[in-house]
Structure 1
Amino acid sequence: MSCWRGVCRACRNRSINATQEAASQPARVKTFDVAPPSASYTLVEDLERQEAVSEMLSRRADSGIADLKEDVEKFKKHMEKAQQQREEDSRVKSGPRMPPGRFDLVTVADGSGHRKPQLGGTVKLRYAVVLVRDASMLDAKEDFEYVLGGQALGAGEVCPSLLDGMLVQMRRGQVASVTHPLKELFPANAPAIAQHGPQEEAVCEVSLLEIYVTKDCSFRNSTGQVLKEVIKDGVGSWCNNPSDEGMAVLRIEKVQTHEGRCLFPDAGASPLELCITVGDGEVCDALECAVLEMRPHETAWVTCSDPSFLVGKPLGEKAIPKSSAYLLRVSLVDFNPGPDALSFDEEDRLTFALRRKAEANRLFKEGRYRLSRQRYFEICDLFHHLDRPKVKDRFLGKEDLWQECRQLRIDCRLNIAACSIKLQDSSMAKEACDLVLKQVPESTKALYRRAQAELQQREFAEACRDLRRVLDIDPSIQEARRLWEKAVKQRKEVDQKQKKEVKYDTMCGRILDDRTDKFTYLNADLDYPDAEGRPVSEWLKFGKEQLRR
């Protein structure tokens, strides 16, 4: 029986997921010649097995509840942290701050839209402050522009922190009021506090007329050269904008310098309203940038920091004075969107791209390099998918079409490099040439224009290398030979100038190289000063004696 009992203990250690029938069959157990277990012993085995299963299930249930509780606690902490972050983001971050919870607004008239002013943004508003006791007017200011978080008002006017705290909660067209003591509405030196006392309560009512939204509309790089500040919102969704080759009706209301000098229109003249084809250069580059980001019936101030953006009709005929910035007030009356080229099949997309390339070439000949480069960029974006391996399935049986699309993109990138060289943007020119050379390593145009960009960056060695490669491919290119001779000459002049300014012998003589100092045991400092004067052979012995002491 002891041997059989030992075998049963092994059975009890089997997986609890096995069926009870398989675990309790004695015929499957190979034993010695012993009698089978009695019925009472089998009953005990079953009870023990049931107890083990119930214990395991209860342990699993306890662990599942613990895991669930842990997940709930983590979720609570995450939500509390997110709420604190939202409160910090909505809090006024500059200027004197009002006590928390004191900006409870009483809405007089609801606003419209979802946009709320942000710190650093510009709004148009009016406000009035009325004493609660006798309804006397303490301060009022009609329609004026205000910059949140950065504008200081007069000594007798309300605190900017109060306006900031109210405006960040308001929407366009909303009228709201707050009631506070005068010490929280005005600066300490305000006449109203001196006359009525700091504890006298007053009502400040603010009406938010407009929210000016500023957006960078510069071509491609978002360099801040053209900024659009919305002073009247348009209609429709945020993506309801004109597109390339679409029709737009613009009303140019005013053009002035940053100092306030009016350039357009002339005295007594009315605003200019014209119908243009977007992207064809019928208006100046600044308006070509801005119109792509406007919605119907939108009015905006377009700020341009570069006079070259004003080149072209209708401002190209006027003499442009020197100024730090130029402001154009323009409205988009209406527009018809251009063709959605991205939804075209390959044949129609190629036809559209060739038509736009012809317009870009015309703009290049007219000297509109910035606008022409933007047209080439958009053509390249139409064929951004040509390098993907699976795209070739779309050109099955159309090898000539694939080659034509590929060649068109290469030509546009070369033209991008040419426009960038004209605009002194050598980095962009090198980037475009590098993309061409990855596909056509022996492209002489790409090598030549990359060399031109390298000369602008005064990288004479790289320019000489690229021009030498051009001449190795085609020695008959005279422009490359002349440019190579010029690059070699400039490189020699720079080398001669450096040799005169830098004397290498003097410079090298002043370099302190630790490897030239040969330290040996003869000039090394002694660890034991008493060893001075003793023979070198006794230094080690003397050191051991000192260590023993």
Structure 2
Amino acid sequence: MEDSLSAIPNPKTHEHPQMPSLPEKEIGNHGLTKSILRLGNTWPTPFPGDEVEIHYSGHVENGSSLGSSHDKGAPFKFKLGQGEVIKGLDEGVVTMKKGERAIFKIPPQLAYGEVGFPPVILPHSTVIFDVEMISWSTIRDITGDGGVLKKIIVEGEGWATPKDIDEVSVKYEAKLENGTIVSESEGLEFHVGNGKLCPAIHKAVKTMRRNEKVELSVRFSYGFEVELEHEEAITSSRNPNNMTIILELLSWKSVVDVVGDKKILKKVISAGEGFAFPNEGSLAKVIVLGKRKDGAIIEQKGSNEEPFEYMCLEGQVNESLDKAIMTMKKGEKSQVFVFSDHMQGSHEASESVFANPTLIYDVELLDFTKEIPVWKMDTQEKIQACDKKKQEGNALFKEGKFWLASKKYDKAAKCIEFNHSFSDEEKRITKALLLSCNLNNAACKLKLEDYVEAAGLCTKVIELDPHNIKALFRRAQAYLHTSDLDKAEADCRRALTIDPNNRDIKLLHQVIKTKQKEHTLYQAQLFGTMISKMV
């Protein structure tokens, strides 16, 4: 038997011994049957594309031997579903488990058909193979077009794989089919998504686990650019369009985009423990070293002997640092990179996602204690917690810390949003608190230019108090910025029926009326232009 079971060598003709009677199972709808001689010792089976390693012996039904891998002294390897063996073996072996041994009876249409392989295999012959599954290696088509095929050599650890933004360290060797090495490294660090190294490596590393080692079969369009000195080696290669890369993922540092706009990035240096994170009001114990991008130290707080303690989202530390610490686990060490709008634009165009930060913090979260959850509080504790957070929000608003103030108002409102267990007097108090929190939060959202949220908060107030002037005024402001001019004008008219002499509402109403006129004029000009083109 040659390297492919689709071809037959000179056989040794002999009578095949009578097989024991075994229960047969039909595979597919074309007459292929399978009888298991020995059950496998695992539950997975290989997938099309996987490279399998088997022992086999075969013969024509009531006829000649087709050889045996045992006679050759080594198992036979082939890739499933790639046409490297007859179709019946492709369809049969894919159902086998590791350690399994089975007999496959393969009809002519899944074997050598109406032509056969004379003189060994006559036309329309059924063939029988005794197959033992030794093992297989998963071959994954990473790109979906056969451009990068991945085979695992050493399984990785854990379940996580790197993301585009993560920083990884790899070891690799890239060589041509004839063994010529075109690139190699013992330990290279790079960001997965920057695409500067080699397309195949950037794509493959996102599918790998820590300490995983793989073999990549790579078309040159996904590989390294080959230097002129290697042109002769390429020309002499049997398949000049391919190279092989042995790639090992040594380690990686997870990177977190803290608020989703890439202005605060956290690189995990040493992972923490557990699954909990600090929340608003948590008492955090940290060690912090703050630096400018030139390395100058601007802030240093806490030590192992005497950590710095602070309450999360109380405005006690830099707001960006505060947000990053709330994504950390107990015991975690991380670097936090803070970018200004100007710097952010430049780092996006850079090879590194960490280029040109405004500030860099080295942070270790030693421990934290969460505040008491609302569901554990009685009604008076809920009211007190709401009022306290509202007052903290007011103080932050006066300092211009609108994002932090908004978080406080959110938290305050959640303390009392479910009031079914409150007494009538407590419901009166909580209604006033809820109106105040939502109104103040709407003011924060206007400052933060989050006009949709601002309008939504005002609507909540108006549902509880239809004559609330501030809510109508602020919602009209929000509608003006979202170009909902009719809604904005309606809110102003409604507010003026309640307080006809309110100067701020009158001024806003005038601005809205002017915008409406400008919009009407624009629509008229646009319509006129369309008509002139049609005439």
| Superposition TM-score, scaled by structure 2 size | 0.58
* Match in the other structure for 2:437: 412
* Match in the other structure for 1:209: 251
* Match in the other structure for 1:103: 151
CA–CA distance in structure 1, aligned partners of residues 373 and 343 of structure 2: 27
SS in 2 for 1:126: strand
Are the aligned partners of 1:128 and 1:140 in contact in 2 as well (CA < 8 Å)? yes
* Match in the other structure for 1:341: 373
| Partner AA of 2:471 in structure 1 | A
SS in 2 for 1:470: helix
> If you compute each CA radius of gyration, which structure gives the higher value, 1 or 2?
1
Measured after TM superposition, the shift of residue 372 of structure 1 is 0.4
* Match in the other structure for 2:464: 439
Measured after TM superposition, the shift of residue 441 of structure 1 is 1.0
Task: Quickly say closer, same or farther: Cα 1:509–1:145, change in 2 above 3 A.
Answer: closer
Identity, % of aligned positions: 17
Are the aligned partners of 1:211 and 1:231 in contact in 2 as well (CA < 8 Å)? yes
* Match in the other structure for 1:451: 476
SS in 2 for 1:243: coil
CA–CA distance in structure 2, aligned partners of residues 286 and 382 of structure 1: 25
Measured after TM superposition, the shift of residue 278 of structure 1 is 0.5
* Match in the other structure for 1:47: none
* Aligned pair partner of 1:115 in 122, 146, 160: 160
CA–CA distance in structure 2, aligned partners of residues 134 and 440 of structure 1: 79
Are the aligned partners of 1:341 and 1:349 in contact in 2 as well (CA < 8 Å)? no
Task: Quickly say closer, same or farther: Cα 1:188–1:130, change in 2 above 3 A.
Answer: closer
SS in 1 for 2:167: strand
| Partner AA of 2:277 in structure 1 | N
Measured after TM superposition, the shift of residue 263 of structure 1 is 7.4
How large is the Cα RMSD of the aligned pairs? 4.9
CA–CA distance in structure 2, aligned partners of residues 355 and 347 of structure 1: 12
* Aligned pair partner of 2:330 in 266, 271, 296: 296
* Aligned pair partner of 1:126 in 170, 177, 181: 170
| Partner AA of 1:481 in structure 2 | R
SS in 1 for 2:209: coil
CA–CA distance in structure 2, aligned partners of residues 474 and 185 of structure 1: 72
CA–CA distance in structure 2, aligned partners of residues 500 and 117 of structure 1: 51
CA–CA distance in structure 1, aligned partners of residues 388 and 513 of structure 2: 43
SS in 2 for 1:262: coil
Are the aligned partners of 1:130 and 1:203 in contact in 2 as well (CA < 8 Å)? yes
Which ranges of structure 2 fall in alignment gaps of 5 or more residues?
A: 1-42, 49-136, 345-354
Are the aligned partners of 1:301 and 1:329 in contact in 2 as well (CA < 8 Å)? yes
Q: String of CA shifts for 1:10-59, please: whole Å, max 9, x gaps.
A: xxxxxxxxxxxxxxxxxxxxxxxxxxxxxxxxxxxxxxxxxxxxxxxxxx
* Aligned pair partner of 2:282 in 242, 246, 253: 246
SS in 1 for 2:471: helix
* Aligned pair partner of 2:268 in 215, 228, 231: 231
Q: String of CA shifts for 1:457-498, please: whole Å, max 9, x gaps.
A: 4555544432333333245xx6x3343145226624762785
User: What pairs with 1:10-49 in structure 2 (closer than 5 Å)?
Assistant: none
**1:383 and 2:416 equivalent?**
yes
SS in 1 for 2:148: coil
| Partner AA of 1:350 in structure 2 | I
**1:466 and 2:491 equivalent?**
yes
* Match in the other structure for 1:165: 204
Are the aligned partners of 1:410 and 1:436 in contact in 2 as well (CA < 8 Å)? yes
* Aligned pair partner of 1:364 in 397, 407, 410: 397
Task: Quickly say closer, same or farther: Cα 1:164–1:493, change in 2 above 3 A.
Answer: closer
CA–CA distance in structure 1, aligned partners of residues 497 and 412 of structure 2: 32
SS in 2 for 1:237: coil
Which ranges of structure 1 fall in alignment gaps of 5 or more residues?
A: 1-78, 154-158, 311-322, 387-391, 514-549
| Partner AA of 1:165 in structure 2 | A
Task: Quickly say closer, same or farther: Cα 1:194–1:433, change in 2 above 3 A.
Answer: same
Measured after TM superposition, the shift of residue 452 of structure 1 is 2.6
Are the aligned partners of 2:332 and 2:366 in contact in 1 as well (CA < 8 Å)? no
Are the aligned partners of 2:343 and 2:358 in contact in 1 as well (CA < 8 Å)? no
* Aligned pair partner of 2:143 in 93, 114, 139: 93
SS in 1 for 2:256: strand
Task: Quickly say closer, same or farther: Cα 1:193–1:106, change in 2 above 3 A.
Answer: farther
Measured after TM superposition, the shift of residue 356 of structure 1 is 1.6
Are the aligned partners of 2:255 and 2:268 in contact in 1 as well (CA < 8 Å)? yes
Measured after TM superposition, the shift of residue 296 of structure 1 is 2.3
| Superposition TM-score, scaled by structure 1 size | 0.57
* Aligned pair partner of 2:505 in 483, 490, 500: 483
| Partner AA of 1:92 in structure 2 | I
Task: Quickly say closer, same or farther: Cα 1:485–1:129, change in 2 above 3 A.
Answer: closer
Are the aligned partners of 2:215 and 2:247 in contact in 1 as well (CA < 8 Å)? yes
Measured after TM superposition, the shift of residue 145 of structure 1 is 1.7
CA–CA distance in structure 1, aligned partners of residues 524 and 182 of structure 2: 76
CA–CA distance in structure 2, aligned partners of residues 135 and 104 of structure 1: 22
Q: Which structure carries more strand by proportion?
A: 2
SS in 2 for 1:210: strand
SS in 2 for 1:334: strand
Are the aligned partners of 1:357 and 1:375 in contact in 2 as well (CA < 8 Å)? yes
CA–CA distance in structure 2, aligned partners of residues 371 and 141 of structure 1: 46
Q: Which structure carries more helix by proportion?
A: 1
CA–CA distance in structure 1, aligned partners of residues 232 and 309 of structure 2: 59
CA–CA distance in structure 2, aligned partners of residues 453 and 272 of structure 1: 43
* Match in the other structure for 2:85: none
Q: Which moved more, 1:229-238 or 1:361-370?
A: 229-238
Q: String of CA shifts for 1:410-451, please: whole Å, max 9, x gaps.
A: 211101111112223222211100111112111122112222
* Aligned pair partner of 2:364 in 320, 323, 332: 332
CA–CA distance in structure 1, aligned partners of residues 140 and 471 of structure 2: 52
* Match in the other structure for 1:51: none
* Match in the other structure for 2:350: none
Measured after TM superposition, the shift of residue 332 of structure 1 is 3.2
